[in-house]
Amino acid sequence: MARKNKVPEFEKMARELKKNASRYAASESVKFFRESFVKGGFTDTSFEKWTQTGNPMAGKRTMYNKGRLMRSIKKLSASLNRVVVVADSEYADIHNKGGYIVVTAQMKKYFWYKYYSFVGDVSVNKKGATPLNKRNVGLGKKAMFCKAMALKPVGSKIKIPKHQFMGNSRTMMRDFDKWFGDTIKFQIEKQWNKPTINIDLKSV
């Protein structure tokens, strides 16, 4: 005698799906936003590459340097109704949105310190000459950049270009919708306990 199909426990499935959905959305949002630093741009409906910076202090990859800003992206909270992901770095907002920062006396002091540090690291040969090797050239560029920043008057403004790495993304939301639909389909088919039954979810 053929075994009857088990009717899916829809209420239980709904509770589990809500719980799993918030965890999934939180972890995948953090991953999606952090990938902006790997890809060098942000994806809303399509990928928008960041403009390359001329700052020699920026490192090999734009906006990456030591990765502190990327690692500052984390889940703040996740409930059944809301998921909050933040970047708690001090400079996250100005880089994500772009804008201006005001030069302070403390900033000037910092850049003078960095200037003399870079100059002091430049190597010389036995004759006292400065060889134009890759290391010295790099140090020279950093030193001149820091000097230019240190010479800016207090109260003047420096433009920070927009390098968006997090925010609303229709691509990310489509990924969530697909996960949601695939999970519902899998759970119903599993509980129905009949491999010949296929469920097609056109939209969720």
pLDDT of residue 5: 53
- Residue 144 and residue 168 share a domain: no
Q: Is 197 part of a structural domain of the chain?
A: yes
pLDDT of residue 118: 95
pLDDT of residue 45: 94
Q: Is 31 part of a structural domain of the chain?
A: yes
- For residue 13, the SS3 value is helix
Q: Let me know: does 3 contact 190? Beta carbons within 8 Å.
A: no
pLDDT digits (tens, 9 = 90+) for 82-129: 889 999 999 899 999 999 999 999 999 999 999 999 999 999 888 888
pLDDT digits (tens, 9 = 90+) for 22-59: 888 899 999 999 999 999 999 999 999 998 888 888 76
- Residue 110 and residue 51 share a domain: no
- Residue 74 and residue 8 share a domain: yes
The pLDDT-based confidence of 1 (bands split at 50, 70, 90) is very low
The alpha carbons of the chain give a radius of gyration, in whole angstroms, of 26
What length is written for the chain? 204
Match 């799906």 to its residue by tokens: 17
- Residue 133 and residue 50 share a domain: no
Q: Is 94 part of a structural domain of the chain?
A: no
- Report the chain's terminal Cα–Cα distance, integer Å: 36
Q: Is 63 part of a structural domain of the chain?
A: no
Q: Is 60 part of a structural domain of the chain?
A: no
- Residue 169 and residue 153 share a domain: no
pLDDT of residue 203: 47
The strand pairing partners of 78, in sequence order, are 83
- For residue 133, the SS3 value is coil
- Residue 111 and residue 11 share a domain: no
Looking at the structure of the chain, the number of domains it has is: 2
Q: Is 62 part of a structural domain of the chain?
A: no
Domain span including residue 201? 1-55+68-88+162-204
